[in-house]
A and B are shown apart, each in its own frame.
Chain A
Amino acid sequence: MAVKDYLRERFLPHMWCPGCGHGEVLGGLVRAIENLGLSKNEIVMVSGIGCSSRISGYVDFHTLHTIHGRALAFATGVKISRPELKLIVPMGDGDALAIGGNHFIHAARRNLDMTAIVMNNRIYGMTGGQFSPLSGENISATTAPYRTIDRGFDVVELAKAAGATFVARSTTYHVQQMTETIQKAITHKGFSVVEVLTQCPTYFGRKNKIGGAADMITWFKDNTTPIGSKAKQENAALIERGIFVQIAAPEYCEEYQKVVERATKGRK
């Protein structure tokens, strides 16, 4: 199938701003699915609220556009009910880790077999440019006119600590690597987290005088480096990208079958 066969042309064009990185994530995600040769009927995409979450409307899968921050909780219900389905959960940074932070760590803890994609543009775009828990310090936003004092989360460290069994980071500059990473994440048995650094030129770029979309993408190129690279050793400020964690661990739905076995043991 071609990429366009995975999209709902009836609902396009999309509503993202010119230069937004979310379209690149959509492209990378759809190519990953195409490369894996998955059937559209076996994929359920669950998203929350925000610019990024609108991604579910544009893809021709079973799509569940839910409420702010709770996408993983809905996805948990779908997955446990039908473990054979592939669950993909794209979320924004505020969606996943502010209002949805609790669900994020618990989904990781359970090691449910699903793929969480954190589309991190470090800003609330849909509401007009407020800072998020991933903005970090010294950032301008409409709710931080004197710049942020809030420290940011590191998605990778958080996911690792919460027990995610696949944790990776990529950017909208490294589109091919992003596609490959998402592909590996979907194939991984267990809870996989892919953070994709993505640009919001409309709010984050403009408010912080970084420039347009091309400048922001270039920033990803200049400020990220493969995990453990020599460049990282020389410059600790560089953000590492690649696969940080990829381990095998008991998956929740499979473990639940053991509960069923224990409950039915000795019964007819």
Chain B
Amino acid sequence: MGNTIKFVQGNEACVEAALYAGLDFFAGYPITPSTEIAELLAYRLPQIGGKFIQMEDEIASLCAIIGASLTGRKVMTATSGPGFSLMQEALGYAVMTEIPCVIANVQRGGPSTGIPTHVSQGDINQARWGTHGDHAIIALTASNHQDVFAMTVEAFNLAETYRTPVILLFDEVVGHMREKLVLPAAGEIPLVDRLRTSVKEGVDYHPYLPREDGRLPMSDFGGVHRYNVTGLVHDMWGFPSTDPQTVHGLLRHLVDKLENRANEIARYREYHLEDAEIVMISYGSSARSALHVVENRRQRGERMGLLELQTLWPFPSEMVRQKCAHAKSVVVVEMNMGQIMQSVKLAVAHPERVFLANRIDSNFITPSDIMNILRIIQGKGV
């Protein structure tokens, strides 16, 4: 039996993947260009007995899915820039309380209301640092619908593995563009189920005492273990604490559990990097144009390659440094003012060789845009 092939929007691919991953609770608020995700899930979730609710705003949406996740469900919300801004406090709560959840941000132009129906990749650093305080986060992205599917499933898997919110940073072009999607068969992509505690009823369960491997087995709200969950700094019981050792231990745990595993969490694609003198680094829809340029230049014999990032946070510094080790120049292609370029410069041995090829006028960056900038970088002029 062959796989089902669909011709869909990126937002639909995201929905198919979320359902494949076991999503059974979605709360959201309408916002362009992510609304199709909510619309489709309003249609699909009740068909499988799942829960869909349209909340009064975006922060309520994230709060609702965090509450549902605690009862044992796989949960998700979807939004765009202004809604993502509104969610930031609840995002920090999910980080602090280590409650798995997935947040899709289909990026549009900002700041503020910006340009709702046009493309941007301007929320990259907001995803990393939008909520206050030292913390770590996982953010994934994709440039095509097959990868939107893969990364969405990955987002649910990583959320459960590391007990963390995972942000899907799609962009308007990927979200609204239609292309082929091959739906994987059941079981084709492994799914990570929640790690639940083996502590029996009547025995003390410490909700925030990590195992030796750093993982925290959960107990569903409504189950046999009653415990406290708080956004305050807390001890192993989940009770507020101001003990300096407890504060230090918790913050280190929250950051180290992801930052120390940046290599494990790194997902990427590479094209013609083996002998590349010019390494392009891109992600999301802009990587499609970058790939076009690379393939075109390769045909002319130029040693050019593409590193397409799928994990943006934690930033895969070590991998990026290795891939760029022999590059004469590194060109970061993105639709913002250099948000990932900053991280690339920090990662590579020669930051002075890192250049930005970008577009910020709300139009999609095309291969010819990139080639024009490349000619200037190479000293050839327009």
Chain A positions within 8 Å of B, measured between CB atoms, are: 8, 10-11, 40-42, 44, 46, 56-57, 60-67, 70, 73-78, 80-82, 84-85, 102-103, 106, 256, 259-260, 262-264, 267
Tell me the minimal C-beta distance from B218 to chain A in angstroms: 12
The answer to the question of B277 belonging to the interface, with a C-beta cut-off of 8 Å to chain A, is no
Tell me the minimal C-beta distance from A161 to chain B in angstroms: 16
CA separation between A81 and B67, bound complex, in Å? 8
The answer to the question of B7 belonging to the interface, with a C-beta cut-off of 8 Å to chain A, is no
Is the Cβ of A46 less than 8 Å from the Cβ of B51? no
The answer to the question of B27 belonging to the interface, with a C-beta cut-off of 8 Å to chain A, is yes
Sample 30 A-B pairs with CB under 8 A, ordered by A number.
Answer: A41-B223, A42-B222, A62-B222, A64-B229, A65-B240, A66-B63, A67-B89, A67-B90, A70-B89, A73-B55, A73-B64, A74-B67, A76-B64, A77-B63, A77-B75, A78-B70, A78-B221, A80-B68, A81-B25, A81-B51, A81-B68, A81-B71, A81-B72, A82-B71, A103-B60, A106-B60, A259-B46, A262-B46, A263-B43, A267-B47
The answer to the question of B227 belonging to the interface, with a C-beta cut-off of 8 Å to chain A, is yes
Is the Cβ of B56 less than 8 Å from the Cβ of A65? no
Assuming the contacts A70-B90, A76-B64, asked whether A57 and B221 have C-beta atoms less than 8 A apart, the reply is: no
Chain B positions within 8 Å of A, measured between CB atoms, are: 25, 27, 43, 46-47, 49, 51, 53, 55-57, 59-61, 63-73, 75, 89-90, 93, 221-224, 226-232, 237, 239-240
Is the Cβ of A10 less than 8 Å from the Cβ of B227? no
Main secondary structure of the interface of A (DSSP, over half): helix
Select B53's contact among A8, A65, A80, A85, beta carbons within 8 Å.
A80
Assuming the contacts A70-B63, A77-B25, A78-B67, asked whether A40 and B226 have C-beta atoms less than 8 A apart, the reply is: yes
Is the Cβ of A46 less than 8 Å from the Cβ of B67? yes
Tell me the minimal C-beta distance from A257 to chain B in angstroms: 10
Is the Cβ of A74 less than 8 Å from the Cβ of B221? no
Which residue of chain A has the shortest Cβ distance to B69 in the bound complex? A77
Q: Which residues of B contact A263 (CB under 8 A)?
A: 43, 46-47
CA separation between A57 and B226, bound complex, in Å? 11
Is the Cβ of A63 less than 8 Å from the Cβ of B223? no
Select A57's contact among B71, B75, B230, beta carbons within 8 Å.
B230
Is the Cβ of B232 less than 8 Å from the Cβ of A65? yes
CA separation between A262 and B46, bound complex, in Å? 9
Select A10's contact among B61, B222, B223, B237, beta carbons within 8 Å.
B237
Is the Cβ of A76 less than 8 Å from the Cβ of B60? yes
Is the Cβ of B47 less than 8 Å from the Cβ of A264? yes
Is the Cβ of A65 less than 8 Å from the Cβ of B230? yes
CA separation between A158 and B73, bound complex, in Å? 33
CA separation between A84 and B220, bound complex, in Å? 14
Main secondary structure of the interface of B (DSSP, over half): mixed
Select B226's contact among A62, A82, A259, beta carbons within 8 Å.
A62
Assuming the contacts A63-B226, A65-B228, asked whether A85 and B221 have C-beta atoms less than 8 A apart, the reply is: yes
Is the Cβ of B51 less than 8 Å from the Cβ of A80? yes
Residue picked from A10, A80, A267, most chain B C-beta under 10 Å: A80
CA separation between A76 and B47, bound complex, in Å? 21
Tell me the minimal C-beta distance from A102 to chain B in angstroms: 6
Residue picked from B43, B46, B73, most chain A C-beta under 10 Å: B46
Is the Cβ of A60 less than 8 Å from the Cβ of B221? no
CA separation between A81 and B224, bound complex, in Å? 17
Is the Cβ of B66 less than 8 Å from the Cβ of A77? yes
Is the Cβ of A102 less than 8 Å from the Cβ of B51? no
Which residue of chain B has the shortest Cβ distance to A69 in the bound complex? B59
CA separation between A263 and B45, bound complex, in Å? 9
Select A102's contact among B56, B68, B228, beta carbons within 8 Å.
B56
Which residue of chain A has the shortest Cβ distance to B57 in the bound complex? A102
Known: A77-B65, A78-B67, A256-B46. 12 other contacts (CB 8 A): A10-B239, A62-B226, A63-B227, A65-B228, A76-B60, A76-B67, A77-B64, A78-B71, A85-B71, A262-B46, A263-B43, A264-B47
CA separation between A87 and B338, bound complex, in Å? 47
CA separation between A63 and B240, bound complex, in Å? 13
Q: Which residues of B contact A64 (CB under 8 A)?
A: 67, 70, 221, 229
Which residue of chain A has the shortest Cβ distance to B89 in the bound complex? A67
Is the Cβ of A82 less than 8 Å from the Cβ of B222? yes
Q: Which residues of B contact A80 (CB under 8 A)?
A: 25, 51, 53, 64, 68
CA separation between A56 and B47, bound complex, in Å? 36
Q: Which residues of A contact B90 (CB under 8 A)?
A: 67, 70
Is the Cβ of B63 less than 8 Å from the Cβ of A67? yes
Tell me the minimal C-beta distance from B103 to chain A in angstroms: 14
Tell me the minimal C-beta distance from A90 to chain B in angstroms: 14
Is the Cβ of B49 less than 8 Å from the Cβ of A77? no
Which residue of chain A has the shortest Cβ distance to B67 in the bound complex? A77
Which residue of chain A has the shortest Cβ distance to B75 in the bound complex? A77
Tell me the minimal C-beta distance from B154 to chain A in angstroms: 24
Is the Cβ of B222 less than 8 Å from the Cβ of A56? no
Q: Which residues of A contact B69 (CB under 8 A)?
A: 77
Q: Which residues of A contact B61 (CB under 8 A)?
A: 73
Is the Cβ of A56 less than 8 Å from the Cβ of B228? yes
Is the Cβ of B227 less than 8 Å from the Cβ of A62? yes
Is the Cβ of A11 less than 8 Å from the Cβ of B63? no
Q: Which residues of A contact B239 (CB under 8 A)?
A: 10-11, 57
CA separation between A55 and B67, bound complex, in Å? 18
Q: Which residues of A contact B56 (CB under 8 A)?
A: 73, 102-103, 106
Which residue of chain B has the shortest Cβ distance to A264 in the bound complex? B47
Tell me the minimal C-beta distance from A176 to chain B in angstroms: 28
Select B46's contact among A63, A76, A81, A260, beta carbons within 8 Å.
A260
Is the Cβ of B63 less than 8 Å from the Cβ of A73? yes
Is the Cβ of B49 less than 8 Å from the Cβ of A260? yes
Q: Which residues of B contact A73 (CB under 8 A)?
A: 55-56, 59-61, 63-64, 67
Which residue of chain A has the shortest Cβ distance to B61 in the bound complex? A73
CA separation between A41 and B64, bound complex, in Å? 21
CA separation between A75 and B239, bound complex, in Å? 19
Q: Which residues of A contact B227 (CB under 8 A)?
A: 62-63
CA separation between A164 and B237, bound complex, in Å? 35
Tell me the minimal C-beta distance from A99 to chain B in angstroms: 10
